[in-house]
Structure 1
Amino acid sequence: MRRVEVNLPEKPTRTVELVAYDPAWPELFRTEQAQLAVALPHALAIEHVGSTSVPGLPAKPTIDVLAVVSDVGDVLKDHAALEQLGYEYRPGSFADDGEHLFFRKVSGGKRTHHLHVLAASSPRPDDYLLFRDYLVASEDAAQRYEQAKQSLAGKYATERGRYVAEKSQIVDQLMSEARAWRAAGSDG
C-alpha cells in the first residue's frame, strides 16, 4: 500500500491579540523613553500613547511611543541610533502623511514597540495625546473602546490591516467626543 502524505494548510497565525492590562507597561515605556532621549537628543517630547498608556485597558502588548521633533527630515536623514536600539524604519506606513515616520521594534517575532515620529507643527501629536488623556479620564469611553477592540480582534484575529481599518470608526467617534470634552474644559 502506497502512503500518501497530505499537507493540510497551517492554521493562520494570530496577528491581533489583545491581552489584559499589564502594570509593567508604564515602566517599559520609561525605560524606552530614556534610551530614545539619547537616540533622539533633539526630541521636544517623548510620550507614551496608545492603549498600553491607559491604565486598565486591554491592548496588543506593544508599547506605542510618540516622539515630537522640530523637523522629521533630520530623523529621516540619520536614524542609525534608532536602528541600534532595534527599531526598523517602515516607510509608507502612514501613506496619507509623509511627515509621519514610523518605526517598529520586533523581538522574538513579536512587535514590542512602535515609534511614531512627528513634527511639532503637525496636528497629530495633539490628537495622540488628547485621545490618551480622554480615555484615561473617561471610564465609559475606555470601556466602549475596549468592547469595540475585543469585537474586532475576534473578527480579524489574522488580519491586522483589517482590524486597524475597522477600528478607525470607533477612534473617530471617540476623537469627536474628546474634542468636545476638551472644549468643555476637560472635566468630564
Structure 2
Amino acid sequence: MDNGNEHNNIPVWAFERIEIVKPDPDWKEKGIREREELHNVLSAFNVKQVEHIGSTAISNLPAKPIIDLMASVPSLELIREIAETLALHHWHYVPPKLDKKPWRRFFVKVKNDKRVAHLQLMQKGEERWEKLLAFRDKLRTDAHLANEYAVMKSQLAQEFNDDRERYTEAKTEFVNKVLFS
C-alpha cells in the first residue's frame, strides 16, 4: 500500500500533531456519509453495524477533526481481504503490532496526507463495543460531562500534542469515571 510522502516507510500522517478544534456542525453529516460508505464496502464481509463514535459524534464538543467509527465483524480471520478492500477507499491498515490493541483492527483514512477518519473493526461480542457506545451516549445526554471532557482534552492535547498514545492513555481515567459512575 502506498501511503504517499513517506520517510523510512513511515507515512507523514502517522506523526500528525494532536489538534483540538471547535465543533463543526458538518461532523454529523460526515459521520453519516462515512458510516454509509463503510457499510456498503464491508457488507461483503457480513458487517451489519457501523457506528459513528468519538467526540465528532457528540454535538458541540471540540475534537480532533477526525471522524471516529467502529464496525462489528463476525470474525477477524478475513482481515487481509478487508484491508485490501478498504485500501481501495483510502483506508490504511495499522497492524496490531503497531496499534498495540489486539482486540481490534485499526484503519486510518487519509486525504492529502492528513487523517480524516479512524475505523476500529471489532469482532462481534467484543465487550469494548458496548462501552464505546455507552460513553458516547452519556456525553450526548450530559452537557456537564461533555464540557468537562472538552476542557480535559484541550489540556491533554497541549501536554501530549506529539504523542497520540499518551494523549489517549491520559483520557482513560475520565472515560472510566463516566462509564462506572
TM range (shorter): 0.7 to 0.9
Read off the aligned partner of 1:20 and give its amino acid letter: K
Paired letter, 2:171: K
Distance 1:76 1:148 in 2: 37
SS of 1:40's equivalent? helix
Structure 1, residues 148-187: CA drift from partner, whole Å, max 9, x if none?
A: 101111222222222122122212222213xxxxxxxxxx
Residue-by-residue CA offset, 1:52-75 (whole Å, 9 max, x unaligned): 000000000000011012112223
**Of 122, 125, 137, the match for 1:121:** 125
CA contact (8 A) 1:104 1:111 kept: yes
- 1:35 aligns with 37
Aligned twin of 2:72: 68
Aligned residue in 2 for 1:149: 153
What letter matches 1:70 in structure 2?
P
Q: Once the two structures are aligned, what percentage of the paired residues are identical?
A: 30
TM score, norm. by length of structure 1: 0.81
Q: Secondary structure at the match of 1:29?
A: helix
CA distance 1:108–1:77, change in 2 (3 Å): closer
Residue segments in structure 2 that go unaligned for 5+ positions in a row: 1-14
Structure 1 range deviating more: 29-38 or 50-59: 29-38
What secondary structure is seen at the aligned counterpart in 2 of 1:37?
Answer: helix
Q: Residue 99 of structure 1: CA displacement?
A: 3.4
CA distance in 2, matches of 1:100, 1:67: 10
Structure 1 position 47 matched with structure 2 position 35: no
Q: Which residue of 2 aligns with 1:16?
A: 18
Structure 1: 5+ residue stretches without partners: 1-12, 178-188
Q: How does 1:53-132 map to 2 (within 5 A)?
A: 53-92=57-96, 93-96=98-101, 98-132=102-136
Deviations 1:105-154 (A, max 9, x none): 11122110000001111111101110100000111111111111011112
Aligned residues of 1:72 and 1:99 also touching (Cα < 8 A): no
RMSD, aligned CA = 1.6
